């Protein structure tokens, strides 16, 4: 019960932090109304997919069921909130929080080392991709939650009997993985292959595997047709992809580069390690508007060293377990899924390889936890070391957020100043943190009184007038103009 309470409080804290940052970036800085501010994010397009029935939902070729999955939820909640952006930020923050809880549950299935669990969970929660994709309106955090749920299911059902309900759950997870980002079906295919085809408790394994994969595709196409009826501007992904590739009219062809060079490799390596571990700097484009990374010699060296170490520990693990590799089926499933994504982005979307990191960043940490638990299960990690590592990542995350805020303020994106809602959110967050730190109710009470007075003081100093926000129709018109400017259609 105490563990569940800590998980709940920690989840609430993370939700409030992510929601506050989401309000700051997407609402206060108005990034939801601009094309490509962060690393070529097409935020207005996702905003339209989530809130506009009409319009050009052309990217559903690669995000097949995104609209039918999430726009109804946004529409229903907006009946009460009356602001699409706040609703979407709330849903996205909740999705990020659930992702963190699921990630923590999987790590606990992999290792019993509590300090290692704390370190890896903190790294995941405070990494730049987790922060930025949770706070800026985009598709990637939605894709991640289905993938994490898939791996959680895999860890629970590996080598166990499957009931009818298990197959239904597995089918739904497959539709979810394919429905948000089409390439994630490969993750699903790998995980299901290990779960079914290497499971002695399943009869007619290969037939059931083929049946599961075809069922996922069939139901996804069916939902795509239903989606097209309700939202006439949404394409049938299956037909559109086939037609686009055969006639060479699909946008995806422009993202494919078969000439792999050193720069391609470094783009993927930096996305995997330097950017993931908050080890980078920002710059802006020639227009001074789009914020992107600086690939320095230091980030390149850091990423190469990390990759070498990652390869060494995996090589050593395989060498030590060469005679009993069958006992580590899920390890190989995770490794294959990771290698697939690594190889994919050497060729596809390499210039923007970071955009896809949420699809597999967690696998790096899962694999590290698995190897450590197998080879160095009894290794002792002191609380001092745990606190130090978590603090370092906390500071690095704060630095990243500060850099982003400075860049946005220098580019005059700010549309709102501090207000009482902002103060209340901070107050709730601090109160929840105090509940974790202090057990004595008087200490909590005194701390809350101090925080209240500090908050009132800050509010009095920073109580500026609130400007009007551009609502969804204005966002959609602006987005259309930007599409024409960038010659997307």
CB 48 within 8 A of CB 476: yes
> What pLDDT does residue 416 have?
46
From the centroid of its chain, how far is CA 111?
Answer: 23
CB 140 within 8 A of CB 356: yes
DSSP 46: H
pLDDT means over runs of 10, the chain (489 residues): 70 85 80 73 86 83 93 93 87 94 95 91 92 91 96 94 94 96 95 94 92 95 93 87 78 81 90 87 63 79 94 93 86 96 92 88 95 84 83 81 75 53 58 61 60 52 37 49 45
The backbone torsions φ and ψ at residue 281, rounded to the nearest 5 degrees and listed phi first, read -130, 160
Helix (H) and strand (E) counts for the chain?
Answer: 19, 2
CA Rg, the chain, in Å?
23
CB 60 within 8 A of CB 237: yes
Taking the model in full, what pTM does it have?
0.86
* CB-neighbour burial class of residue 296 (10 A; exposed 0-12, middle 13-18, buried 19+): middle
Work out whether strand 281-284 and strand 291-294 pair parallel, antiparallel, or are unpaired: antiparallel
> What pLDDT does residue 425 have?
60
> What pLDDT does residue 257 have?
83
> What pLDDT does residue 285 have?
60
* C-alpha–C-alpha distance, residues 313 and 307, integer Å: 10
Token pair listed for 368 = 């590290």
Token pair listed for 261 = 């060079």
* C-alpha–C-alpha distance, residues 190 and 172, integer Å: 16
* CB-neighbour burial class of residue 409 (10 A; exposed 0-12, middle 13-18, buried 19+): exposed
Residues whose CB is less than 8 angstroms from the CB of residue 139 and which lie 6 or more positions away in sequence, other chains included: 46, 49, 63, 66, 180, 181
CB 110 within 8 A of CB 367: no
* C-alpha–C-alpha distance, residues 381 and 375, integer Å: 15
> What pLDDT does residue 293 have?
73
- 476 HSE (CA, 13 A, CB side): 14
* C-alpha–C-alpha distance, residues 221 and 324, integer Å: 40
Distances (CA, A) of 368 to 111, 310, 361, 373: 10, 8, 12, 8
- Three-state secondary structure call for residue 282: strand
* C-alpha–C-alpha distance, residues 476 and 262, integer Å: 39
């Amino acid at each position: 019960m105490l563990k569940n309470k800590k998980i709940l409080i920690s989840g609430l804290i993370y939700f409030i932090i992510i929601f506050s940052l989401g309000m700051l970036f997407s609402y206060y800085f108005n990034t939801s109304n601009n094309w490509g501010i962060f690393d070529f994010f097409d935020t207005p397009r996702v905003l339209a997919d989530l809130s506009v029935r009409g319009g050009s939902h052309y990217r559903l070729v690669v995000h097949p069921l995104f609209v039918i999955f999430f726009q109804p939820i946004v529409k229903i909640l907006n009946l009460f909130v009356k602001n699409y952006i706040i609703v979407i930020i709330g849903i996205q923050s909740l999705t990020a929080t659930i992702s963190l809880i699921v990630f923590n549950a999987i790590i606990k299935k992999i290792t019993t080392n509590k300090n290692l669990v704390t370190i890896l969970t903190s790294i995941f929660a405070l990494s730049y991709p987790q922060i930025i994709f949770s706070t800026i309106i985009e598709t990637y955090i939605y894709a991640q939650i289905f993938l994490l749920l898939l791996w959680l299911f895999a860890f629970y059902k590996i080598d166990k009997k499957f009931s009818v309900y298990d197959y239904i759950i597995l089918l739904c997870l497959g539709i979810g993985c394919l429905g948000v980002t089409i390439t994630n079906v490969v993750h699903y295919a790998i995980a299901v292959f290990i779960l079914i085809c290497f499971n002695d408790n399943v009869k007619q394994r290969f037939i059931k595997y083929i049946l599961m994969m075809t069922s996922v595709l069939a139901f996804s196409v069916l939902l795509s047709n239903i989606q097209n009826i309700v939202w006439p501007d949404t394409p049938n992904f299956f037909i559109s992809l086939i037609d686009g590739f055969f006639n060479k009219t699909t946008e995806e062809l422009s993202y494919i580069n078969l000439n792999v060079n050193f720069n391609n490799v470094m783009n993927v390596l930096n996305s995997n390690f330097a950017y993931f571990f908050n080890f980078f700097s920002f710059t802006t484009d020639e227009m001074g508007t789009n914020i992107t990374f600086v690939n320095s010699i230091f980030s390149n060296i850091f990423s190469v060293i990390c990759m070498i170490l990652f390869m060494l520990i995996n090589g050593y693990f395989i060498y030590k377990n060469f005679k009993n590799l069958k006992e580590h089926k899920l390890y190989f499933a995770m490794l294959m899924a990771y290698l697939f994504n690594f190889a994919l982005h050497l060729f596809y979307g390499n210039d923007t390889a970071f955009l896809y990191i949420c699809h597999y960043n967690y696998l790096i940490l899962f694999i590290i936890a698995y190897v450590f638990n197998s080879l160095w299960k009894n290794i002792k990690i002191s609380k001092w070391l745990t606190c130090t590592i978590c603090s370092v990542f906390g500071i690095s995350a704060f630095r990243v957020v500060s850099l982003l805020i400075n860049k946005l303020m220098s580019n005059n994106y700010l549309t709102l100043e501090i207000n009482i809602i902002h103060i209340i959110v901070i107050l709730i967050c601090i109160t929840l943190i105090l509940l974790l730190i202090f057990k004595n109710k008087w200490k909590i009470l005194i701390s809350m009184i101090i925080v209240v007075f500090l908050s009132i003081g800050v509010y009095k100093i920073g109580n500026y007038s609130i400007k009007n926000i551009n609502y969804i129709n204005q966002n959609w018109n602006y987005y259309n103009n930007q599409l024409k400017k960038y010659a997307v259609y």
